[in-house]
Amino acid sequence: MHDQSLTLRVGGDSAAGGIVTTGEVFARIAAYAGLEVYTTRTIPAEIKGGHVMFQARIAPTEVWSQGDELDMLVAFDQESIDRYYALIRPGGILVYNSNDGQPPAADYVTFALPLNDLAKTINFQRGRNIITIGALVKLFGLPPDVAITVIEKQLGRRKDLLEQNLLAFKTGYDYVEQHITPTALYRLTPRPGAEKEERLVLSGNQALAIGAIAAGCRFFAGYPITPASDIMEFLAAELPRVGGTMVQAEDEMAALAMALGASYGGVRAMTATSGPGLALMLELIGHAAMTELPVVVVDVQRAGPSTGMPTKVSQGDLRMSVFGTNDDAPHIVLAPVSVEDNFYLIIHAFNIAEKYQVPVIFLSDQDMSVRVQTVPAFDPTRIPLEPRLLWDPNSGDKFQRYKDTPTGISPMSLPGMPGGQYVAEGLEHNAEGEPNYDLYWRTTNMEKRARKVSQAVHEVERLTLYERFGNAEAAIGIIGWGSTIGPVREAVQLAEAEGIPVAVLYPKMLYPLSRALLEDFIAKRQAIIVPELNYVGQFARMIQAEFGREVIALRQFGGIPFKTRDVYEEIKRVHASLKPTQKTLARKQTSTQRRARR
């Protein structure tokens, strides 16, 4: 196939049902067969009805983005044909429901599936999506036994429907064999031994929730909000199995208040929300900062403001996460870069919260949260758990909850410890926690709380809280954050193939920023591109303000992820603007790299 990978898009109306199921089950079949998958989707915000799009990129080796051009479009209706046929690459494929649509003439191959008629023949109108899956499995020569296993796992909860689903699968498979082709039109072959490797196929929200459990989280309170609700639903089922508790609160403020109460009692606690919910939590994040209680607040960002586009992606909550608290409330902001990173970084988030006794805001986003991807099996032993500093009742010292220390970290007590009583008061206080507004205590405590956060910056290097790749000496640099890393990685590969070296840095601790890490990177560049999914270029402006260096904000704010081509074209544009001497240096660097590889 094109570029040794398949980019498949499925489109249809949500009222018809099963559009996402078609794409997701097919992607999982490919993954179980040993292939790598990377998916994205958009669904309507309406309760019923509205257009749905699911896209999967499938390849023998790892892929980093959802793909730009479509190798295949599967259209359940005329609207899907009209929306997407122009995106099909020359020579690509359109599989369409001939009962509900007719494609225009263009440079692609068409295959008609009379889905409505086929569903009627088995008296299972809801089975059109499974019929389509059967057809796709045959078209691409994927193992039917693997497909049946996936269908049984994914759709086997309703035993009364499983037999019908398997019949629908066979109907689609047989139709292609009898009316289109008896042999596979295209075949993606897994790399040798891939089907035997232990791998996971899961979404970013699932990886995050599993990571939270591995991090020792035993209390979660939340309020349903797209696209974070999957985290709460997952933990509702899994936390009780490890002795934990999940509470659905009456609102976001109550959810965070409950989590703080659990933390006060010595339990690792978390809540999860999206932008509007985080806005409601800001006062309590300030309370956590003042009382020095560890807690993790997950923000799965979506397009706003307000309700905005709740099923579309955005990176628009960075400013609120960094600057939204009142009066310099010390806190930390982390951002994962992939589905796999959601697992490992959330463990770091809990460790940092507990170690430094601060709230940690964890910035995921809609695209990464619902994306299904193949990842290696997780290894929680890579990140040992770090406990909070507890007071020793046998030390002989008087307990002072907010004692000023060189690191700013003071021992905590747990309820029931003899002599460890204190009040976690939102008012300014003395070392014992008693309200006190004297200038001395105000100054001492502000410096104490700030000292903890400045100490936490050292975790960036100690824990390698960043991704760095590309040519370390390149004149062009990219600094980004979060889920945009995939298209950037592929764009850099394209640029390097054309003799344009690029250096890339993705910090995972966004507040506070590591000056040592970024200053060294920035100093070596003639031009710096900052790609992000928001209107004003929030991270770009943070970098400019922090380091006094003008950068190029590559912005996208339409609710969809970057394409590789978007980043690649910007790299080429910036390269063309460099001075001739800089271009000559860039070519020499690339030539040296090539010789080294040989």
pLDDT tens digits, one per residue of 253-309:
999 999 999 999 999 999 999 999 999 999 999 999 999 999 999 999 999 999 999
- Secondary structure of 478-491 as H, E, C letters: EECCHHHHHHHHHH
Domains contained in the chain, number? 4
Residue 580 has pLDDT above 80, yes or no: no
Return the pLDDT at 199.
87
Do 481 and 354 fall within a single domain?
A: no
> Which element (helix H / strand E) includes 113?
strand 108-113
Q: For the segment 222-250, what is each residue's pLDDT rounded down to a tens digit?
A: 999 999 999 999 999 999 999 999 999 99
**427 in any annotated domain:** yes
Question: Rounded distance, CA 492 to CA 215, Å?
Answer: 34
Tell me which of 376, 411, 439 is where a domain ends: 376
Q: Give the C-alpha separation, 526 to 583, whole Å.
A: 11
Same domain, 353 and 418: no
Domain end position, chosen among 456, 481, 512: 456
One domain, residues 139 and 158 = yes
Q: Mean per-residue pLDDT for 140-159?
A: 90
Could you tell me which residue, 506 or 395, shows the higher pLDDT?
Answer: 506
pLDDT at 1: 39
> Mean pLDDT score of the chain, rounded to an integer?
93
CATH of the domain at 10: 3.40.920.10
Res 512 pLDDT > 80: yes
Predicted TM-score (pTM) of this structure:
0.93
Is the pLDDT assigned to residue 594 strictly greater than 60? no
* Terminal C-alpha separation, the chain: 28
Domain containing 495: what range?
465-597
Among 170-184, 294-308, 490-504, where is mean pLDDT lowest?
170-184
Tell whether 247 and 332 lie within a shared domain.
yes
| Per-residue model confidence as pLDDT tens digits over 340-384 | 999 999 999 999 999 999 999 999 999 999 999 999 999 999 999
Contact call for residues 430 and 402 (beta carbons, < 8 A):
yes
Confidence band, pLDDT 50/70/90 cuts, at residue 587: low
- pLDDT (0 to 100) of residue 4: 75
pLDDT of residue 47: 65
106 and 241 share one domain: no
Residue whose tokens read 């896209």: 55
Task: State mean pLDDT over 200-219.
Answer: 97
In a domain, 509, yes or no: yes
384 part of a folded domain:
no
| 354, 376, 398 - which closes a domain | 376
Q: How do residues 439-488 score in pLDDT, each as one tens digit?
A: 999 999 999 999 999 999 999 999 999 999 999 999 999 999 999 999 99
Which CATH number goes with the domain that contains 218? 3.40.50.970
Q: Are 223 and 277 in contact (CB under 8 A)?
A: yes
Residues 413 and 500 in one domain: no
**Strand pairing of 509-511 and 332-334?**
antiparallel
| Residue 556's CATH number | 3.40.50.920
Residue 491 sits in the same domain as residue 569: yes
Residue 188: predicted pLDDT: 77
Query: CA separation (Å) from 340 to 41, 311, 317, 375, 468?
Result: 18, 22, 22, 6, 16
Question: In this structure, is residue 492 part of a structural domain?
Answer: yes
Instruction: Return the bridge partners of 333, or none.
Output: 361, 511
Q: How much of the chain exceeds pLDDT 70, in percent?
A: 96
Q: Domain for residue 155, yes or no? A: yes
Q: Tell whether 382 is covered by a domain.
A: no
CA distance 245 to 236: 8
**pLDDT by residue (tens digit) across 525-548?**
999 999 999 999 999 999 999 999
Pairing mode of beta strands 466-470, 372-376? unpaired
Residue 138 lies in a domain: yes
Tokens of 325: 């608290």
Q: Looking at the structure, do residues 370 and 490 belong to the same domain, yes or no?
A: no
Residue pair 368/483 in contact (Cβ under 8 Å)? The answer is: yes
Check residue 586 and give its pLDDT: 55
Same-domain status, 106 and 134: yes
34 and 65 in a common domain = yes
One domain for residues 140 and 214: no
- Considering the domain architecture, whether residues 186 and 280 belong to the same structural domain is answered as no
512's CB contacts (< 8 A; 6+ apart) are: 332, 453, 454, 456, 457
Would 381 be classed as within a structural domain? no
Angle, helices 485-497 vs 564-577, to 10°: value is: 50
User: Using 50, 70 and 90 to split pLDDT, how confident is the model at 15?
Assistant: confident
Per-residue pLDDT of 80-102, as tens digits, reads: 999 999 999 999 999 999 999 99
pLDDT at 595 over 60: no
